[in-house]
Amino acid sequence: MSTATPIPATEPGTVFRDPAFRHFWFARLCTTIGYQIFTVAVGWQMYDLTHDAFMLGLVGLVQFLPSIVLLLMSGHVADRFDRRLIVRTCQALEAVVAVSMAVASFSGWITREHIFLFVAAIGACRAFETPTLQALLPSVVTPRQLPRAVALASSAAQTAIIIGPALGGFAYVAGPGVVYSLSAALFAIAAILVATLKLRQAGLRLTTPVSVKTLFAGFAYIRGNPVLLGAVSLDLFAVLLGGATALLPIYARDILHTGPWGLGLLRSSPAIGALAMALWLARNPLNRRVGRVMFGAVALFGTATMVFGISHWLPLSMAALVVLGASDMISVVVRQTLVQLDTPDDMRGRVGAVNSVFIGASNQLGEFESGVTAALLGPVGAVLLGGAGTLLVVAAWMRLFPALAGRDRLHDHPAGAR
């Protein structure tokens, strides 16, 4: 069992005043910005070396594959060992990888093979870091603070998504080595913050021997819990079908007739909506009818997708994407909070690993689905079909998962209540 230093309880509305949560929030901000600027540098450098769009696609695939390969192991490790140790070790290794890429770039001997190797290493580290960091949050705050904490933690991620690419792009003017050095510094800061993180109380740890049953326990738990299965699968299919953001370059150039500046505005719009909603939910957490609110948010996501699909006016397209990002954040906060509250502490790593892979798969496959559908139906047809498909999924899931639709409060019968 891990050790923890008890700290005084705080009221739900003062969660950010808690030093432990602030350490967690800034650690997540730093590690996410570090990863964002790392990926920007990798993309630019790979294209500079190869001038091959296919190689850019392979970079994304190489980053994602470790999370699939290490899925069972990463969740099991997160439930068996001190989560703070796992997270800071991953962040320290990510800093080492970024430093290695900086040295290779400054020296001029980096090749596409080196980039694939380093990217795979980062992907492997994040396969352990991401679900473990999520599973760590309930040990930092109380169950009643968790909805606000999830929203605030999501705001850190969205802030990083807005700041990171711009910061990486500006820094790349000085060369990729500078970007990788900056990324390494941010990973190192995150590791230090996690190392000094004080938990509210020690969490339960998995003590049973390793077996096929314990390895697959995350899948079994989600499958046996209608609320979690409905929430996770709803997000999977909604993002899979509603992946309009993959087609933004086509919309910017061929439909909205704007340039790179317009594409930048379009790309930032969902993150702006998501950040605004995350901050609002942190101050005004959902208290009643959370199941129906989640379904309503996903339906709004589908509707906003369709509005974006038919728009030929840049301000309207941006507004639709802002609404899309805001509604998606509502779904994210509800799902993440349910996953944490309805899962026992010694299962959170394995359940979180399954949830993380579902999210990654929906994003990756959603982009692939949008590209294939756009090739067949054109970009407008693809986006409209995706939005309509999302609405159909909402209608079907409300009938298939009545327990989720009828969920009233986020903290009803929390599995790991303390």
pLDDT digits (tens, 9 = 90+) for 127-173: 899 888 888 888 888 888 888 888 888 888 888 888 887 788 788 88
What's the CA gap between 414 and 341, in Å, rounded?
5
Q: Could you tell me the two tokens for 236?
A: 């999977």
Q: How many domains does the chain have?
A: 2
What's the CA gap between 205 and 343, in Å, rounded?
13
Q: Looking up tokens 């800061």, which residue turns up?
A: 189
What confidence category does residue 2 fall into, taking pLDDT thresholds of 50, 70 and 90? very low
Does residue 415 sit within a domain? no
Query: Any idea what DSSP says for residue 18?
Result: S
Looking at per-residue pLDDT, the higher value among 180 and 134 belongs to: 180
pTM of the model: 0.75
pLDDT at 369: 65
Q: Looking up tokens 């892979």, which residue turns up?
A: 357
Same domain, 284 and 328: yes
Same domain, 192 and 265: no
Same domain, 395 and 360: yes
pLDDT at 368: 61
Does residue 154 sit within a domain? yes
Q: Is the pLDDT of residue 315 over 80?
A: yes
Same domain, 302 and 183: no
Does residue 392 sit within a domain? yes
The answer to whether 20 and 200 are in contact (CB under 8 A) is yes
Does residue 233 sit within a domain? yes
% pLDDT > 90, the chain: 31
Same domain, 197 and 53: yes
The answer to whether 152 and 16 are in contact (CB under 8 A) is yes
Same domain, 169 and 221: no
Q: Could you tell me the two tokens for 192?
A: 């230090």
Does residue 413 sit within a domain? no
Same domain, 220 and 197: no
Burial of 300 by CB count in 10 Å (0-12 exposed, 13-18 middle, 19+ buried)?
buried
Query: Any idea what DSSP says for residue 285?
Result: -
| Segment 214-229 mean pLDDT | 82
pLDDT at 370: 67
Same domain, 45 and 128: yes
Same domain, 225 and 201: no
Domain housing 125: 12-205
Minimum mean pLDDT among 11-25, 201-215, 270-284: which range?
201-215
Domain boundary residue among 140, 172, 205?
205
Contacts of 169-176 spanning 24+ positions with Cβ under 8 A: 169/40, 171/37, 171/41, 172/40, 172/41, 172/44, 175/105, 175/106, 176/41, 176/44, 176/45, 176/101, 176/102, 176/105
The chain-wide mean pLDDT, for the chain, equals 83
Same domain, 93 and 174: yes
What confidence category does residue 292 fall into, taking pLDDT thresholds of 50, 70 and 90? very high
The CATH number assigned to the domain holding 41 equals: 1.20.1250.20
Which three-class secondary structure state does DSSP give residue 9?
Answer: coil
Minimum mean pLDDT among 6-15, 41-50, 341-350: which range?
6-15
Q: Is the pLDDT of residue 404 over 50?
A: yes
Does residue 165 sit within a domain? yes
| DSSP sequence for 53-122 | HHHHHHHHHHHHHHHHHTHHHHHHHHHHS-HHHHHHHHHHHHHHHHHHHHHHHHHT---HHHHHHHHHHH
- Range ranked top by mean pLDDT from 49-58, 71-80, 132-141, 322-331: 322-331
Does residue 418 sit within a domain? no
Does residue 319 sit within a domain? yes
Question: pLDDT (tens digit, 9 = 90+) per residue, 361-390?
Answer: 666 566 666 667 777 888 899 899 989 999
Q: Is the pLDDT of residue 299 over 90?
A: yes
pLDDT at 410: 78
Same domain, 49 and 119: yes
What's the CA gap between 124 and 131, in Å, rounded?
12
Question: pLDDT (tens digit, 9 = 90+) per residue, 225-283?
Answer: 899 889 888 877 777 776 677 677 778 878 898 876 777 678 778 888 998 998 898 88
Same domain, 303 and 350: yes
pLDDT at 246: 65
Sign of the Cα torsion 317, 322, 325, 326 reads negative
Domain boundary residue among 205, 239, 269?
205
Residues in the chain: 418
